[in-house]
Amino acid sequence: MLYRKLGKTNEKVSALGFGCMRLPVIDGDPTKIDDEKAIKMVRHAIDEGVNYIDTAYPYHGTGMTEGGESEPFVARALKDGYREKVNIATKLPSWNIRTREDMDKYLNEQLERLQTDTIDFYLVHGLNKGGWENLKNLGIDEFLNSAIKDGRIRYAGFSFHDDLYIFKEIVDYYDWSFCQIQYNYLDENFQAGTEGLKYAADKGLGVVIMEPLRGGRLVSDLPEEVTNTFEKAEVKKSPTDWALRWVWNHPEISVVLSGMNVMEHIDENLRIASEALPNSLTEKELEIMDTVKKIYAAKTKVNCTGCQYCMPCPIGVNIPKNFAHYNKYHMLVTPETEGSLKMFYNAFVDGSEKADKCVECGKCESHCPQGIKIRQELKNVKELFL
């Protein structure tokens, strides 16, 4: 395992972090984590050198407002001496904060859920313009200072989903130790993007990356043109290898989070993390990645990462699943595959989950980190498939 310094903290963190948002579950129920499989996976990663475990208050729950099962799972996984081997990162559910007292309430609850006295890396979760204004007015800086002073947290950071100018404002407002942004080879100019990455790093912040594989969409069902482009490389790599190495090629990045839910993914990611040094991609390899980016830019219709922040829909529409089929159609469609791709949509998306059930309440759009006009895009899905 390679290690990198997390900004001005000078802490050495594993280049690969274990994200606990998409753990294996039982019977497809996100609230029923398969402990036997998931604990084995987390401990295997730690045994191989991973020392950064990321979770959040709502992960593996039924929505964004209630506590999910991920934090209690992390506590179970880190028993038997594993807590002492890792840094825990979790997040204040910023959208639930109505008073200054709420901040302490949630932090104290999270300490209990995680069965720890101290959270190593504590993030203000999913900041955007509206949420940031509310937290500033309620005294987020005083809260973070007091939590660091009394030892409940070691370092303060934030995760982010909004425009670049808001990102810079947040970076400049407080003496953050680190931040977490979405970044992959298709998101160089999305949200914080490359400019925000460099801006934060120049200010001394460690940078943690989420969605390096875009929810798995950069590793499976690739367009034929992308596969052919990768095949032209002198040294053959898997799509996962290409995507992760591109991210780790940036020296400003400290940790890359991967939501690994099968052991094979863990072993592959561990192997890549042990080899992917900053600035290690060759000029020819960077040219290959530029070609791939252009191919995808021409095909992707909806900028959905499958993060589930829009869920649950009060009507039952499975928004990420609809967009996944819609994007897959446009990436893979040929005269030969058009019929089967439409058949797959109708076969694998239940009637109650289909786009035509949307009543346009707009609740989903208020939670979408990508700023997708979900109601209009669901109409487009309906027009294509139904």
Ordered DSSP codes for 216-266: TTTTSS--HHHHHHHHTSSS---HHHHHHHHHHT-TT--EEEE---SHHHH
pLDDT of 277? 97
Please report the pLDDT score of residue 161 as a whole number.
87
Q: Out of 106-120, 161-175, 185-199, 216-230, give the one with best mean pLDDT.
A: 106-120
Triad 105, 107, 113: Cα angle to 5°: 105
- Residue 244 pLDDT more than 90? yes
Contact 191, 221 (CB under 8 A): no
Percent of the chain with pLDDT over 90: 79
pLDDT for the residue numbered 75: 98
Whether residue 41 has pLDDT greater than 80: yes
| Long-range pairs, 38-41, Cβ under 8 A, ≥24 | 38/73, 38/77, 38/261, 39/73, 39/76, 39/77, 40/263, 41/260, 41/261, 41/262, 41/263, 41/266
Buried b (16+ CB within 10 A) or exposed e, 318-329: bbbbbbbbbbbb
Whether residue 334 is predicted with pLDDT greater than 80 in this model: the reply is no
Cα–Cα distance for residue pair 206/158, rounded to 1 Å: 11
CB burial of 7-32 (b: ≥16 within 10 Å; e: otherwise) equals: bebebebbbbbbbbbbbbbeeeebee
More confident position, 223 or 12: 12
Q: What is the mean pLDDT of residues 163-175?
A: 95
Residue 202 pLDDT: 97
* Residue 299 backbone phi and psi in degrees, to 5: -115, -35
Give CA–CA dist 363/310, Å, rounded. Answer: 8
Between the CA of residue 372 and those of 215, 306, 365, what are the distances in Å? 16, 12, 7
How far does Cα 372 stand from its chain's mean position?
Answer: 16
- Would you say 228 and 196 are in contact if contact means Cβ atoms under 8 Å apart? no
Exposed e or buried b for every residue in 209-241, given b needs 16+ CB within 10 A?
A: bbbbbbbbbbbeebbebbeebbeeeeeeeebbb
Model pLDDT, residue 259 = 84
Mean pLDDT of 19-45: 96
Is residue 205 predicted with pLDDT exceeding 90? yes
| pTM for the predicted model, two decimal places | 0.83
Q: What is the pLDDT of residue 306?
A: 82
Q: What is the pLDDT of residue 209?
A: 98
Write down the pLDDT at residue 261: 87
Among the listed ranges 94-108, 129-143, 213-227, 282-296, which one has the minimum average pLDDT value? Answer: 213-227
Look at residue 327 in the predicted model and tell me its pLDDT.
87
Q: Could you tell me which of 197, 381, 186, 362 has the C-alpha nearest to residue 291?
A: 186
On the question of pLDDT at 307 being above 80, the answer is yes
pLDDT at 363 over 80: yes
Average pLDDT on 115-122 reads 98
Quick one: average pLDDT of 324-345? 85
Share of the chain above pLDDT 70, in %: 100
pLDDT in tens, 78-109: 999 999 999 999 999 999 999 999 999 999 99
- Diameter of the chain by CA atoms? 64
